Amino acid sequence: MANKHGLKWSIVKKQAASRKLAKNKKSAMQVYIWNENPQARKNTSYKQRKHYYENKQAFPKKKLLNKDVNHLIEIGLLDERGFFVKGKKKNYITKSMTDAKGIDFYGMPRAR
- Whether 1 is covered by a domain: the verdict is no
Q: Which residue has the higher pLDDT, 95 or 65?
A: 95
Q: What is the pTM of this model?
A: 0.44
**Residue 51 domain-assigned?**
yes
Is 18 inside any structural domain? yes
The tally of domains found in the chain comes to 2
List the domain range (segments joined by +) for residue 89: 62-112
Q: Are residues 51 and 66 in the same domain?
A: no
pLDDT at 31: 42
Claim to verify: residue 52 and residue 94 sit in the same structural domain: no
Secondary structure in 3-state letters for the chain: CECCCCCEHHHHHHHHHHHHHHHCHHHHHCCCCCCCCHHHHHHCCHHHHHHHHHHHHHCCCCCCCCCCHHHHHHHCCECCCCEECCCCCCECCCCCCCCCCCECCCCCECCC
Hey, which of 22-26, 38-42, 48-52, 74-78 has the most confident mean pLDDT? 74-78
Q: Mark which of 25, 42, 58 sits at the end of a domain.
A: 58
Check whether residue 47 and residue 80 sit in a common domain.
Answer: no
pLDDT at residue 52 greater than cutoff 60 = yes
Q: What percent of the chain has pLDDT over 90?
A: 21
